[in-house]
Amino acid sequence: RPPQTPRLTIDIVSDVGCPWCVIGYETLAQTLRGMGLADTTEVRFHPFELNPHLAAGGQHLGEHLAQKYGSNSDQSRAARARLTSLGESLGFAFRFSDETRIYNTWRAHQLLFWARESAGLQKQLELQRLLFEAYFTEGRPIDDVPTLVEVAARAGLDAEEAGAVLYDARYADVVRAEAAEWRAKGISAVPSVIINGRSLLTGAQPEEVFRNAITRALATAASQETNEVSP
């Protein structure tokens, strides 16, 4: 019988409020589709907080970028135009405006963890993409429990349970521990994409880079499988 395609697992350390995480994920998804691996690859999202100290209601994006990176309004506008163009090429709609705000994503990470634990990787993936859309396309406040519950329901998750998970913060400690674990492994920027637990790609890489890294990872996995079955 023909040999099975070696199993591929991809871990993505990401923040819901990070536009480059959207570009990175959508490029990776496009790469997997192009390689015929979209249905056989396990993709898992893991938490990273870019702005853990943001208060409820968030902060004006332009003000935030000026404070954190020293960006002026022209630089900010140019960056948003570039992201919008990249998003369009990948089928994702960024809708920035002069009123765009940036939010604390701590609750969103707890929701994503719950989705993975209660409904599996595919549901977490669906929720992740809907959260990206809620924030970057619809401009929704993703630190707000009713908004998060509504997005969870849109993903086909139980709205009442989603609300309970967020209001009682039942996964706060485990999500905090998971985020700390990735930092301890040296992850300090997002997106960080780890292929088969070995190959690390940082930043929103182009499709060619993802394809080459995946090809190498599959070759390594095939070689290991061959060695394991050899007498």
Question: What would the pLDDT profile of 166-207 be if each residue is shown by its tens digit?
Answer: 999 999 999 999 999 999 999 999 999 999 999 999 999 999
User: Omega into 47 within 30° of 0, i.e. cis?
Assistant: no
What residues pair up with 200 in beta bridges, in sequence order? 194
Distance CA(127)–CA(112), nearest Å, equals: 7
pLDDT > 90? residue 123: yes
For residue 52, CA distances in Å to 58, 81, 93, 128 come to 11, 26, 26, 19
Question: Regarding beta strands 8-14 and 41-47, do their DSSP bridges make them parallel or antiparallel, or are they unpaired?
Answer: parallel
Alpha carbon distance 99, 104 (integer Å): 17
The 8-class DSSP code of residue 134 comes to I
Q: At what angle do helices 106-119 and 121-132 cross, to 10 degrees?
A: 150
Q: Determine the pLDDT at residue 76.
A: 84
Q: pLDDT tens across 23-70, in order?
A: 999 999 999 999 999 999 999 999 999 999 999 999 998 898 888 888
Percent of the chain with pLDDT over 70: 96
Instruction: Give pLDDT, residue 1.
Output: 42
Amino acid at 42: E
Please name the helix (run of DSSP H) or strand (run of DSSP E) that holds residue 59, with its range, or none: strand 59-60
Q: Which amino acid is at 76?
A: S
Q: Residue 62: how many CB atoms within 10 A of its CB?
A: 20
